[in-house]
Amino acid sequence: MDPRPVDRTHDRVAGDSSAAHTFTDVAGPPPFVIALDGPAASGKSTVGPAVAERMGYFYLDTGVLYRAITLAAISHGVALDDGEAIAHLARTVCLEVHPPTRDDGRQVDVLMDGQDVSLEIRQPAVDRGVSAASAHQSVRAALGAPQRGAIRAPGTILAGRDIGTVIVPEAPLKVWLTASVEERARRRSAQTGEDLAAVLGAMRQRDHVDGTRAVAPMKPAVDAVEIVTDGLAPEQIVEEIVALARSRGAPG
Ligand code: DC
């Protein structure tokens, strides 16, 4: 059998709170949440969708929300140090995340006010600006509700930086995926074709900003299971996470 994530046709995740699902408005057992955190290129976006596929769960890469809002700020000429203006965009722009409709390297379709920005959110300008835009408390607060609102039954995997520490601290399974910065830079450079030394430098810089920001810094939750992915095949990591989830009573 080929278990599919639940219908994702209407994955409006921001800009319209009426579409949100919450723990309290769903009958039956609460959705099982897997908080999948870790630095860039630690394997979240390879492993997360595979675990979701295996378990029939919904998967959301929350980084796309921060990237889309950063893109919106850049294209509206909003300065990346203007947290209030970026937070306003986060509250008013309509973001939707759907399964991919094109085979051009995208993992998901990201629509911003109906416009396909799936590739634009991966541009170097967004890479450079996203840490600064996402460091503002007001921006993080504006994007918190849509992340929690994306949770749905029977289970959801939210991938990010602060899912286990801030967004869903009650998640029954928190996984911290990591790998050495050299290994992560090698993976990213192999994916994008960018120069390895440049990727390594940018990644060190982004790790530093994400890990030292005052608000919700990137760090493992105290009760997270840490998986160091250097030298591990994706299937091994998927197996480990599925086994952990089932051992904690996850349906699916
Ligand atoms: O996962 P990613 O590389 O696409 O994330 C882009 C940036 O967004 C990352 O540098 C930090 C920010 N981010 C965040 O602060 N919190 C999240 N939950 C997800 C991403």
**Total number of domains constituting the chain:** 1
Look at residues 71, 113, 68 and name the one whose alpha carbon lies nearest to residue 94. 113
Is 40's C-beta closer than 6 angstroms to any atom of ligand 1?
Answer: yes
Question: Looking up tokens 């996203």, which residue turns up?
Answer: 130
Binning pLDDT at 50, 70 and 90, where does residue 131 land?
Answer: very high
Mean pLDDT of 17-30: 51
The answer for 165, left when phi > 0, alpha when psi is -120 to 50, beta otherwise, is alpha
The more confident residue out of 5 and 177 is 177
Q: Does the structure show a pLDDT above 80 at 71? A: yes
pLDDT at 18: 36
pLDDT for the residue numbered 67:
97
Quote the percentage of the chain above a pLDDT of 90: 81
C-beta 206 within 6 A of ligand 1: yes
Q: Provide the CATH number for the domain around residue 164.
A: 3.40.50.300
Cis bond before residue 154 (omega within 30° of 0): yes
Residue type, 78: V
Ligand 1 binding pocket includes 169 (Cβ within 6 Å): no
Measure 27 CA to ligand 1 centroid, in angstroms: 31
pLDDT over threshold 70, residue 200: yes
Cα separation, 150 vs 19, whole angstroms: 9
CA atoms of 192 and 207, how far apart (whole Å): 19
Residue 101: how many CB atoms within 10 A of its CB? Answer: 11
Judge whether 252 lies within some domain. Answer: no
Residue 242, in any domain of the structure: yes
* Inside any domain, residue 18: yes
What separation in angstroms does the CA of 101 have from each of 44, 95, 150?
A: 21, 16, 20
Name which residue leads in pLDDT, 3 or 219.
219
Would you say the CB of residue 127 lies under 6 angstroms from ligand 1?
no
**Atom 11 of ligand 1, nearest CA residue:** 131
| Other CB atoms within 10 A of residue 91 CB | 18
The alpha carbon of 77 is separated from its chain's Cα centroid by a whole number of angstroms, namely 25
**Ligand 1 centroid – CA 4 distance (Å):** 26
Task: Tell me what pLDDT residue 87 has.
Answer: 98
pLDDT tops 90 at residue 226: yes
Is residue 3 assigned to a domain? no
Dihedral, 125, 98, 187, 174 alpha carbons, nearest 10: 110
Residue 130 placed within a domain: yes
- Within-domain flag for 2: no
Would 1 be classed as within a structural domain?
no
Please tell me the predicted confidence (pLDDT) of residue 9: 34
What DSSP element (H or E) covers 58?
strand 58-61
Ligand 1 atom with the smallest distance to the CA of 61 is 1
Yes or no: say if 152 and 21 are a contact pair by the CB < 8 Å rule. yes
28 alpha carbon – ligand 1 mean position (Å)? 32
3-state secondary structure (DSSP) of residue 197: helix
Structural domain boundaries enclosing 97: 8-247
As a whole number, mean pLDDT of residues 51-59 equals 96
CA of 54 to the centre of ligand 1 (A): 25
Looking at residue 141, its pLDDT comes to 96
State the pLDDT at residue 238: 98
pLDDT band at 139 (very low <50, low <70, confident <90, very high): very high
Quick check: 136 and 83 in contact, CB under 8 A? yes
Tell me, what amino acid is at 143? L
> pLDDT value at position 57?
96
Best residue among 34, 37, 60, 66 to mutate for probing ligand 1, ranked by most atoms within 8 Å of CB: 66
145 in a domain, yes or no? yes
- Between 4 and 95, the more confident residue is 95
Residue 99: pLDDT band with limits 50, 70, 90 = confident
Average pLDDT score over residue span 102-109:
88
**What value does the CA radius of gyration of the chain take, rounded to a whole number of Å?**
17
Average pLDDT, the chain: 89
User: Which residue is it, tokens 């920001």?
Assistant: 213
